[in-house]
Amino acid sequence: MLNAGSKRITIRDVAKKAGVSAQTVSRVLNQRPDVAPQTREKVLQAIADLNYRPSGIARSLRLKSTGTIGLIVPDSSNPFFAELGRAIEKTAFENGCSVILCNSDGDLERESFYIEALVSKQVDGLIIVGANRASRKNPILDGSLPVVVVDRDLNGERFDTVLADNLEGGKKGTSYLIALGHERIAFIAGPSGLPTSAARLRGYRRALEEHGIAFQKELVVSGDFRYQGSYRAMEKLLKLTPPPTAVFAANDMMAVGAIACIRDHYLRVPEDISVIGFDDIPLASFLNPKLTTIAQPRGEMGRMAVTMLMERLQDRNLPARRYVLPVTLVERESCSRRNQ
Ligand code: RIB
């Protein structure tokens, strides 16, 4: 790789910059586990600072690898997956790998097509956000290809898995609304069959139960994790008598749709109806009102997914790891105390 001074950056330049031996840099590049974390960080920082790119051909020959990772997401237009993909790509780059991104659109057939396509391109491993629970039945996922599952719970004991604590997030958001005096709290769920949305709904129900508030089925409506679906779901909720005083949308894009619908019915957010979302996509803090939401650690999820995959490439016999990362309530302006 040539830098601005057109001098070719070598592994020795990286070693010098990081204050380690060329062998240590090579161990980091080859994702060897026998490198102390702080040393790995120093080397990765030197690689980024010098914009060093190991020769792909040399690497493939040396590692019998293509230095590519396959990534399949269910909706590449959703900012959550865009941010997750960005974190995966950044960490892959720091490990000298490139990423091939595929969008399954939540369709199992499309997902299978892309899994086979990525295998034929000889990716070193696959990071997948499954279209739904049935994704785990794809035989390739149980084959020789190293796989890390992100943002899904597809029988975690079989696959390396990293996801956010969706149940806790559902509880946190609902408890927050209850603390504001709301009892008639609606929940707009994501597509049925998705473990993330189902876990959030369980958290919602658990919070109601813990506060002695009766669960009312009519207050739970299905959305599609998209604007349009939540707009229609909110229309149903507004027809209820009395309508809810607060709405928990299972993701931010649906919170945006719900707010638009509430406003189109000449009601105010949060004065008339409070709205909380889930994800904390960048847009959330630019909305009017700024969206209160449950933030998912998607940067950490992406980084951990790549790291687990690299470690799996080094040792195929590693037991499957499962990390559930904490979520945080981000309080902004879209919720307020219930109108007495
Ligand atoms: O916004 C997309 C949603 O689908 C996110 O909440 C993510 O967790 C996935 O389940």
User: Which pLDDT does position 32 carry in this prediction?
Assistant: 73
- Give 259-328 as a DSSP string: HHHHHHTT--TTTT-EEEEEE--GGGGTSSSPPEEEEP-HHHHHHHHHHHHHHHHH-TTPPP-EEEE--E
Would the pLDDT of 262 be above 70? Answer: yes
Better pLDDT: 26 or 307: 307
* CATH code for the domain defined by 166-296: 3.40.50.2300
Pairing of strands 246-249, 274-279: parallel
Amino acid at 222: S
Report how far ligand 1's centroid is from the alpha carbon of 93 (Å): 24
Mean of per-residue pLDDT scores for the chain: 90
User: Which pLDDT does position 1 carry in this prediction?
Assistant: 40
User: Which pLDDT does position 147 carry in this prediction?
Assistant: 92
Residue 301: pLDDT band with limits 50, 70, 90: very high
- Measured in degrees and rounded to the nearest 5, phi and psi for residue 267 equal -110, 160
Is the domain spanning 11-63 CATH 1.10.260.40? The answer is yes
| C-beta separation of 233 from 192 below 8 A | no
Q: Give just the sign of the alpha carbon dihedral 44, 50, 56, 60.
A: negative
Report how far ligand 1's centroid is from the alpha carbon of 80 (Å): 7
pTM reported for the whole predicted model? 0.81
Placement of tokens 């992406």 in the chain: 302
Tokens of residue 48, six digits: 């980024």
Q: Which of 307, 277, 272 is nearest to 292 (CA)?
A: 277
Query: Tens digit of pLDDT for each residue in 116-156?
Result: 999 999 999 999 998 777 777 777 777 778 999 999 887 65
> What is the homologous superfamily of the domain 68-165+298-325 according to CATH?
Response regulator (3.40.50.2300)
For ligand 1, whether the C-beta of 132 sits within 6 Å is no
Per-residue pLDDT averaged across 66-78, rounded? 95
User: Which pLDDT does position 251 carry in this prediction?
Assistant: 98
- Measured in degrees and rounded to the nearest 5, phi and psi for residue 139 equal -55, -30
Domain ranges of the chain: 11-63, 68-165+298-325, 166-296
Residue 273: pLDDT band with limits 50, 70, 90: very high
Pocket probe for ligand 1: among 278, 283, 298, 330, the residue whose CB has the most ligand atoms within 8 Å is 278
Report how far ligand 1's centroid is from the alpha carbon of 220 (Å): 18
Domain 68-165+298-325 and domain 166-296 have a common topology: yes
